[in-house]
Amino acid sequence: MLSRRELLFGRLRAGVSRAVPSTPPPPPPDDSPKVAVIQGRHCLAYRELMCSTCYERCPEEGAIVIERGIPQVVADLCTGCSDCHDVCPAPTNAILMLAPRPTINRGKP
Amino acid sequence: MQMERRDFMKLAAMTAATGLAGSMASRGSTALASTQPPLPDRPDIPGVTWEKAPCRFCGTGCHVQVGVQDDKVVAIAGDRQADVNKGLLCVKGYHVGMILYGQDRLTKPMARRDGELVEIEWDEAIDIAAKRIMQSGDKFGFYISGQSTVPEGYAAQKLMKGGLSNNHIEANARLCMASAVTGFLSTYGVDEPASCYDDLDHCDTLILWGNNPAEMHPILFSRVMDRQARGEKITVIDIGSRHTRTTERADHFLPMQPHGDLAIANCIAQQLIEQDAYDHDFVEKHCNFRADRDPSAKFDAPIDHDTYVAYVKEEGASGLFGQAISFEQYKKLVSYYTPEKTEELSGVPASQLRMLASTFADKSKKIVSLWCMGMNQHTAGTAINNLVHNVHLMSGHWGKPGDGPQSLTGQPAACGTVREVGTLAHALPGGRIVKKEAHREHAEGFWNVPKGRINPKPGYHTVKMFEMLCTPTDQGGDIDTIWVQVTNPGQTLPNTKKLFKAKAKLKDKFLIVSEIYPTATTALADLVLPAAMWVEKNGIYGNSERRTQQWFKMVTPPGEARDDCWQTLAVARRLYELGHPGLKDKDGEYLFRINDDAGNEVPYWEWEHYYDINVDKALFDEYRQFTFLKHKNVAPYDELVKHRGMRWPVIETKDGQFKETRWRFVEGADIYVEKGSGIQFYHSVTKDNKAQMWFRPHQWPAEMPDDTLSLNLVTGRVLEHWHSGTMTMRVPQLRRAMPSAYVEMNPEDARDRGISNGDIVRVTTRRGELKLPAWINGRAKPLRGQVFVPFFDENAPINDLTLDAIDPFSKQPDYKKCAVEVSRLDQPHAYSPEDDK
Ligand code: SF4
């Protein structure tokens, strides 16, 4: 069985890649903790353009939710894996990976 | 404006130059205060020039601004001046420029020698094609596309029917729009929608018949969603067999079993009659009744539903135009479709059917029905198209802004090139048909060819043409050569093993393919002609709302890739040089002679001279003469240059201006409607200015699930990809967002089979099997008993598995219904061909 992450990443296609990306791949992630932040002004869904890629491809159940078509990151569940950033098809990538805000009063140990 | 280097890099990577500020609302109708800041003008970047073009992809027909620098497309922006999209684009549109720059563009002609494709020179390639066509005679077929430009379609059409007296010319729109055409013809007597997209700005109820515009026509759907976001009340009713992104935004979802639509539309009529809520005035003034057979020829009194069905089965249907029946007979037949009976046939609860009928009964509502492949790819496609027109006619929800049926096209020039130029086996330009002597004479007159040049017998429709290609010659396969342009039948025909891949074994058959990238079709090609695409050539498209859109060549095609239109015309010229008599007109002149302003012939068939004149303009203005007969007047080429498309009929006013038409057959909007008639169907089948309301009974799909294959297979597109993915799979952003095919299942069907999300499963039909990952509760959720597989992925050729059953009138195949089973790999096969023996 494929994991949720692998499901749509074309594991079946191994060795049959023809269309070669002409943009550089995203920079390698550094190790510091990150959280995804969706920038509404760049997000297709915020303009009723019916995009839901980040929500579909997020490997953490519930870390991105959609309401009336608009995706939102649930920061507590986001692991900072940056999958959503990597797949965002908006003309200007709408997802920033930022350092999480200090975890004050989150009610967690 | 000084640009930062970082910004420039962004641009060079062709991200959308204007960003997304704004929405439809901010630049739409001014009824409500805008909630978004206006879009910035397209950026003023030194060295970048901008020009308009329609988007290369879907039938919506958005306009983009294309930014060019150093002979390269470097940026794309939504076109603010375009009525269709008002500056916005969908995710495909924003990345459309990248389709030119995949690394494996075809740049050199190739011929198959000892099984391998080897590079050859253009001159030899044209020679091979011309000689082969000469030798094949009426065994040659030309297969083009709803993405071919109007001049490409016109050149191919004139070459085939006016030059070679060969009617085997088809286009992939047969697979996509044919049932909409037969629906319009049999209801109104003339093809193409009477309504336009403006209706989406005025409607208060949107009914989706097996339609998922959120993914397939995103800009049109956003036009409505944007009104909702501004606080307008628009009720969305989604009738379908799959819970989609569109359904998420709907107020009502009517869960329909396949072919339930036929019963549902009849049920609305039954309810309107039973409650006496139909529009008496409209029906009396503007409608006649019609059916496959008029029972009064045999029966004295109106007969009931089952007797009628048996009667037609015995007698056969009386062609596309059927026979007139009385209102009493219609009423009796349709009375069968009570909400309870319809619930049985369609799966939609009777209460929802009553709700739907009462929506149509409400005169104060403004209702738009949208449909596309759900109704067209249907073995009763003509019938369901008729029935949806019916409910609008009968309820009087017709011909007012925001109130009427709107058929959508999948492809950007299915209307412009295929339906209007008539690049189908039975058709001639401008709504004419080869069977009619008068129509042939018109065309022979415009083309100045001898009387009798055009063959009166229709050629093969698409499925038949490829079936004949794949049938050995000694078994009657009487097509031996096909030239394919701007489409990928190797991946998109139904039942591709039978209708395409079987060609591999037949050594005497020959396939010529004009293409931009390697595809499943070039894989079997004997001659590959590298093609220019989109803004590498001049072009004209025509979208779903009768809008004809022109663009100019902006960049040089790569390597030796050349315009499809040039390829056709170069082969035509070679045929002329080889002495083919059809390439001369009746005065002995070359059939495709084009003169310069001084009256000298231009040798445009030589590539170096192709752009010495504007061949598109010459062909288009010649084609334009054909468009007046059926009142489909397109604007002159020079007028189209000035506009972001114009909706025909385009009327020349006294002061030399050109005015487009938004609503056909409606007084005040359509100049051809006589004063005082309100609505006039002036191409009426019955020649009395009335539309036909059809009785069409419910029927079951051609292949139904059974004990072995217990589910139904639906195929279709996804938001990110265009058809077979040839272009969009080469755009990194789109490919990353949607990298490969999957099988979408209902969670309960999956659980019954022990299948979890992400499992690789076996998908089996009577034609073959495929391994795919299961996607459960993903982007969409099919009803129980339904599975969905997209067809964009060349590594998961789902059309190997689909059925090639066709609608009897339109000859369009049904890609949405065939029996299928899905099983875990560790389970035994659901089916083996042995089972059928
Ligand atoms: S794909 Fe269709 S909806 Fe999207 S931008 Fe192009 S024409 Fe518009």
Residue pLDDT, tens place only, A25-47:
555 556 788 999 999 999 999 98
Global pTM value: 0.93
Output the six-digit token pair for B325: 């029946």
- On average, the pLDDT of chain B sits at 94
Per-residue pLDDT tens over the stretch B159-207: 999 999 999 999 999 999 999 999 999 999 999 999 999 999 999 999 9
Query: Domains of chain A by range and CATH?
Result: 35-98 (3.30.70.20)
Q: Is residue B836 scored above 90 in pLDDT?
A: no
Output the six-digit token pair for B423: 């690049």
What is the B369 CA–ligand 1 centroid distance (Å)? Answer: 20
Chain B residue numbers with beta carbons less than 8 Å from the beta carbon of A54 are none
Instruction: Identify the residue among A2, A50, A52 best suited for mutation to test binding to B, counting B beta carbons within 10 A and taking the highest.
Output: A50
**Per residue in A49-72, is it b (16+ CB within 10 Å) or e — as a string?**
bbbbbbbbbbebeebbeeeebebe
Q: Is the Cβ–Cβ distance between A95 and A56 less than 8 Å? A: no
Which residues are within 8 A (CB) of B8 and not within 5 positions of it... i.e. 6 or more apart?
Answer: B45
Q: Is residue B803 scored above 50 in pLDDT?
A: yes
Q: What is the mean pLDDT of residues B791-820?
A: 97
Per-residue pLDDT tens over the stretch B815-827: 999 999 999 999 8
Selection from B194, B178, B220 nearest residue B59 by Cα: B220
* Ligand 1 atom closest to the CA of B93, numbered from 1: 5
The whole-number pLDDT of residue A32 equals 81
Residue B368 backbone dihedrals phi, psi, to 5 degrees: -110, 130
- Alpha carbon B361 to its chain's center: 31
Choose one of B62, B79, B220, B723 to mutate for the ligand 1 pocket test, by most ligand atoms within 8 angstroms of C-beta.
Answer: B62
User: What CA–CA distance (Å, rounded) separates B674 from B666?
Assistant: 9
Q: What is the mean pLDDT of residues B615-622?
A: 98
Q: Which residue has the higher pLDDT, B276 or B32?
A: B276
Q: Is the Cβ–Cβ distance between B377 and B494 less than 8 Å? A: no
The whole-number pLDDT of residue A26 equals 58
Quick check: is B225 catalytic?
Answer: no
Is the beta carbon of B219 within 6 A of some atom in ligand 1?
A: yes
Q: What is the mean pLDDT of residues B23-47?
A: 48
The whole-number pLDDT of residue B27 equals 31
Output the six-digit token pair for A19: 């269309």
Question: Which residues are bridge partners to B243 per DSSP?
Answer: B781
For chain B, percent of residues with pLDDT exceeding 90: 93
Q: Is residue B494 scored above 70 in pLDDT?
A: yes
Q: Is residue A13 scored above 70 in pLDDT?
A: no
The band of B3, judged by pLDDT with boundaries at 50, 70 and 90, is very low
Selection from B245, A54, A83 nearest residue A64 by Cα: A54
Q: Is residue B32 scored above 50 in pLDDT?
A: no
Query: Domains of chain B by range and CATH?
Result: 2-53+61-98 (2.20.25.90), 110-177+413-531+563-593 (3.40.50.740), 178-407 (3.40.228.10), 711-836 (2.40.40.20)
Per-residue pLDDT tens over the stretch A43-100: 999 988 989 999 999 999 999 999 888 999 999 999 999 999 999 999 999 999 998 8
Catalytic choice (B55, B58, B287, B373): B373
Bridge-based pairing state of the strands B49-54 and B63-69: antiparallel
Length of chain B: 837
The ipTM, to two decimals, is: 0.87
Per-residue pLDDT tens over the stretch B760-791: 999 999 999 999 999 999 999 999 999 999 99
Q: What is the mean pLDDT of residues B127-146?
A: 98
The whole-number pLDDT of residue A15 equals 27
Amino acid A73 reads V
The whole-number pLDDT of residue B46 equals 84
Question: Which residues are bridge partners to B403 per DSSP?
Answer: B400
- Per-residue DSSP letters for B808-820? TTT--B-SS--EE
Length of chain A: 109
Q: Is the Cβ–Cβ distance between B230 and B32 less than 8 Å? A: yes
Selection from B415, B363, B400, B459 nearest residue B665 by Cα: B400
The whole-number pLDDT of residue B67 equals 94
Residue B695, SS3? Answer: coil
Per-residue pLDDT tens over the stretch B623-647: 999 999 999 999 999 999 999 999 9
Q: Is residue B835 scored above 70 in pLDDT?
A: no
User: What CA–CA distance (Å, rounded) separates B82 from B713?
Assistant: 38
Selection from B671, B656, B658, B643 nearest residue B542 by Cα: B643
Quick check: is B565 catalytic?
Answer: no
